[in-house]
Amino acid sequence: MMKKDKSVIYWLLSGCVLVFIMVVVGGITRLTNSGLSMTDWHLVTDTFPPLSEAKWNAAFEEYKKFPEYQKINIHNDFTISDYKFIYFWEWFHRFIGRIIGLVFLAPFVYFMAKKKLDGPTINKCFILLGMGALQGFFGWFMVKSGLVDNPDVSHFRLALHLTFAFITFAYTLWVALDLIYPEKKEIIISLKKLARIALVFLVIQIIYGGFVAGLNAGLVHNHWPLMSDGQFFHDSIALEKESWLLRLTEGKSGVQFVHRTMAYVVVGLILFLYFKSRKYTLTQQQQNGLNALVFIVFIQFALGVFTLLYSVPLWLGLMHQVMAFFLLTAMTYTLHRLSK
């Protein structure tokens, strides 16, 4: 690795850290029901929260025009102090998005001007730029769904916004890893294919995590290892919707069933990858990645169980989301080391 490349690597890794922080704040925003507090979007004037009591009152009066207040909070003695609390988290989430844009764009232009980026890296960075813009659109698209009739955002749009943030992080990390490890080496095809399969199922699990969050499906069947009434596949699943597709994508019981069952699949695939890898001579980097995968996936599984048993307290729900991020990090690193 050339010395001049280190600044580019640090830049990309700082982007990973910021995306991680944004996802954590997004998790707090969701768990505190703060996501619909800002009912409009202005790129410049919303950079800072209201700076006077008159502006706070105006923002609060605007919020009162929308379903979340009219159908839920109007019955909860909801005051302007409560509004300021939920406003902060949504504002902070959007503010970090602006910071990410600045942290990406300014150094990107500088590095291109100084010719510190080769052609392939420039192309990857343009992809990242497009992904960042698309993520901003997905955020607006998600919030919009909760400002019409339903006081909750669409769980499909929430899962899209959440999952794409994870994917953007993973791709940023992959680009950084390409620069950290520029050397080519012999790869083990069977392990690479299995790691890819595990990654696909992990992404599906993250999508269903978004479904569970969006539907508040973690508040039902708070039992483990079986669902309520000692059932593996609860009777309520078949009664929630008119088709099996809808039952497993829109029903609370069905979505929770898929998410809790998929957890076993993800753990099984990672363990299979780990034990299969013992047949081969691995580099230290590959072994470290696999060890981290096994360690993190068991922590994540345990967090998922306790989050369910305790009916999703804020700190446990947040830790479960954070650990999913660490699991994706380990998976991305391991796949990169098994692929390049």
Task: For 205-231, write each residue's pLDDT tens digit.
Answer: 999 999 999 999 999 999 999 999 999
Q: Are residues 160 and 12 in the same domain?
A: yes
Q: Are residue 256 and residue 147 in the same domain, yes or no?
A: no
The dihedral region occupied by 221, where left means phi > 0, alpha psi between -120 and 50, and beta the remainder, is: left
pLDDT at 40 (0 to 100): 78
Residues 199, 156 share a domain: no
On whether both 18 and 129 belong to a single domain, the answer is: yes
Distance CA 260, CA 199 (A): 17
277 and 291 part of one domain: yes
Residues 251 and 281 in one domain: yes
Identify the pLDDT of residue 41. Answer: 73
What does the pLDDT read at residue 60?
93
Which residue carries 């050397």 as its tokens? 183
Give the per-residue pLDDT at 224.
Answer: 96
Residues (pLDDT < 50) of the chain are: 1-4
Instruction: Please indicate, yes or no, whether residues 23 and 127 belong to a single structural domain of this protein.
Output: yes
Query: Within this chain, do residues 194 and 166 fall inside the same structural domain, yes or no?
Result: no
pLDDT of residue 217: 96
pLDDT in tens, 77-118: 899 999 999 999 999 999 999 999 999 999 999 999 989 999
List of residues 6+ apart from 248 with CB closer than 8 A = 237, 254, 255, 257, 258
Range of the domain at 285: 187-340
Distances (CA, A) of 76 to 29, 35, 59, 72, 337: 19, 18, 19, 7, 52
